[in-house]
Amino acid sequence: MGLVELNVDLTEEQKAVRDAARKFFREVWRPAAIELDKLHDPQDVIAEGSVLWDVFRKSYELGYHKMRMPKLFGGAELDTLTAVLVGEEMGWAAADLTISVGVSGFPFTFAMFAPDPEVQNLTRQYCEDTEGKMIGCWAITEPEHGSDWMLSQGEYSRDPKIAPTVRAVLDGDEYVFNGQKSAWVSNGTIATHAALFFGIEPCQGMENCGIATIPLDYPGISRGKPLDKMGQRALNQGEIFFDNVRIPKANVLVQDPDTYRMMGEAVLAAANAGMGVAFVGLAQAAFDEALQYARERMQGGRVIFEHQNVKLKLFDMFVSVEAARSLARRVSLYNSVTMPPAVHYSIASKVFSTETAFRVASQAVQIFGGYGLSKDFHIEKLFRDARAAMIEDGINESLALGAMDQLRE
């Protein structure tokens, strides 16, 4: 029987969307990610003529950038389970491109909630884009702030010494921004727009922050060079600098502590749930690589699949992947119909899926033996990509502590 889909209630339409996504991502994304991973200089990843731009263009042509956007703004508005199925296929093909294309919609998701029609229209323009010209980033991480941005609570969070690096001061009808976002901003050096998280009152530490959707072509905005990383090399990341950047007040969507806290929890829940889904896909890819290799590799006069130790490893990997898949799907479905979302369950999904992906990829490398360390085999890239996932979008240990604070309530 082999691997089966345990969601037996999938509609024919959901199966068709999943199958089309599987074909596209395996034929377009995976070879592109492999090609980009091999480039020595991360500047070459984003250079003119790079296959990265083909990925964005083809993905936008098919509407994968607007899967969850409402139809009111021109989005596809896929139901949650269908979007999860597509997300798993994305993660299977290329986790780095999954994050890059996924985060591209962040600024335009926030723009939907703007009272100003001109800012709202950015969402429509993004949904209408079929060439990959509008690319967003989540400008939150800073040289002195990473996972703590979304997790600071209580008396410590009000300490002025931990105030955000990027700060804004209201001057008439404009906010003036100064500061630096760190090299870990995904799409940082290629984005046209940013979902910018910033501080308003430094004396209140992390308690009084704001969120803005801004174009990144304003005077005073500059970028650093693309980050050179161990894994997820197709994912562009880099610094953004703000030097007396004047942004219209209309672009600032959140500027009071209560709304910021509510929006922050929604973002944390969505981002972690998305990571959970994507890295189930990577875990599945690592298992598939190991299973195929075990069926072909001869040792001791028979394929190594027949060795009991290998069978036990493969079964453990299989169980782990299916457990992570079950949690990721359930969390996504629950949070799609529940307000406020269960943030601690999203965190559980992210932590469990990313650690499963890394452990399964590590076991797969062990099954490959020495060949698992060779760049000639895809499992080597999957191992490096999985390792990065336990740090990005919140380091797992910090996320776990934040989730436990919610469980204590």
Q: 3.40.50.150, 1.20.140.10, 2.40.50.100, 1.10.3720.10: which CATH number matches 260-408?
A: 1.20.140.10
213 φ, ψ (degrees, to nearest 5): -105, 120
Do domains 12-128 and 260-408 share one topology? The answer is: no
Q: Does domain 12-128 have CATH number 1.10.357.10?
A: no
Is residue 112 a contact partner of residue 70, using CB atoms and an 8 Å limit?
yes
pLDDT in tens, 283-325: 999 999 999 999 999 998 999 999 999 999 999 999 999 999 9
pTM of the model: 0.95
DSSP code for 226: P
Confidence of residue 272 (pLDDT cuts 50, 70, 90): very high
Residue 176, amino acid: V
Q: What 3-state DSSP class applies to 66? A: helix
Indicate the pairing of strand 298-299 with strand 302-303. antiparallel
Q: 86 forms bridges with which residues in the sheet?
A: none
Q: How far apart are CA 409 and CA 398, in angstroms?
A: 18
Average pLDDT in the chain: 94
Q: How far apart are CA 211 and CA 397, in angstroms?
A: 26
Length of the chain: 409
Q: What is the pLDDT of residues 345-389, one digit of tens each?
A: 999 999 999 999 999 999 999 999 999 999 999 999 999 999 999
Burial class (CB in 10 A: 0-12, 13-18, 19+), 407: exposed
Q: Radius of gyration over alpha carbons of the chain, in Å?
A: 21
CA separation, residue 246 to residues 168, 170, 175, 283, 292 (Å): 9, 9, 6, 44, 56
Question: What CATH number does the domain located at 136-255 have?
Answer: 2.40.110.10
- pLDDT value, residue 254: 87
Map out the domains of the chain as residue ranges.
Answer: 12-128, 136-255, 260-408
Q: The tokens of 6 are what?
A: 């345990």
Q: What three-state secondary structure class fits 43?
A: helix
Peptide bond into 340 cis (omega under 30): yes
Indicate the angle between helix axes 12-24 and 80-93, nearest 10 degrees: 20
